[in-house]
């Protein structure tokens, strides 16, 4: 069965530090890849997505992610985090033309001011 793993349960950074959150999936076929963010008390929001084309995808709020097919990875990055980036981050995979999203367990990011 398709699965998504995220490397860290909880990441704590100071402001201005660089961020990289790992995401790996198990499905071998063509996939669509997503990163979602959920700020405290709010609903899920889409940060960025990859369907095809340039494997380096830029999203909102300075986030980017790189799809590396050979590694089945889609890691999220940001060069300099802010306190307002404190949130829960979810990686998700959707099989191309598939019906279901499979979400990773999430990574909580805490940014210290």
Partner 1 sequence: GAVVSQHPSRVICKSGTSVKIECRSLDFQATTMFWYRQFPKQSLMLMATSNEGSKATYEQGVEKDKFLINHASLTLSTLTVTSAHPEDSSFYICSARVREGAASGNTIYFGEGSWLTVV
Calculate the alpha carbon distances from 85 to 55, 57, 65, 97 in Å: 23, 18, 16, 32
Q: Does 100 bind partner 1 (CB under 8 A)?
A: yes
Q: Are 91 and 6 in contact (CB under 8 A)?
A: yes
| Structure token pair of residue 52 | 């095809």
Of 77, 78, 75, the C-alpha closest to 67 is 75
Q: Per CB under 8 A, does 52 bind partner 1?
A: no
By CB under 8 A, tell whether 40 contacts partner 1.
yes
Q: Is 103 in the site for partner 1 (CB under 8 A)?
A: yes
**Minimum distance between the CB of residue 3 and partner 1, rounded to whole angstroms?**
12
Cβ proximity to partner 1: between 55 and 105 the closer is: 105
Note whether 20 and 76 are within 8 A (CB).
yes
Residues that bind partner 1 (CB under 8 A): 32, 34, 36, 38, 40-41, 43-44, 46, 49, 51, 88, 90, 99-101, 103, 105-106, 108
């Amino acid at each position: 069965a398709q699965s998504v793993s995220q490397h860290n349960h909880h990441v704590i950074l100071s402001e201005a530090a660089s961020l990289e959150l790992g995401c790996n999936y198990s499905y071998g076929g063509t996939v669509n890849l997503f990163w979602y963010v959920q700020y405290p008390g709010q609903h899920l929001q889409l940060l960025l997505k990859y369907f095809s084309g340039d494997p380096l995808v830029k999203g909102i709020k300075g986030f980017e992610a790189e799809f590396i097919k050979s590694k089945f990875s889609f890691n999220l990055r940001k060069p300099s985090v802010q306190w307002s980036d404190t949130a829960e981050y979810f990686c998700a995979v959707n099989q191309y033309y598939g019906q279901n999203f499979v979400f990773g367990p999430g990574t909580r990011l805490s940014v210290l001011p």
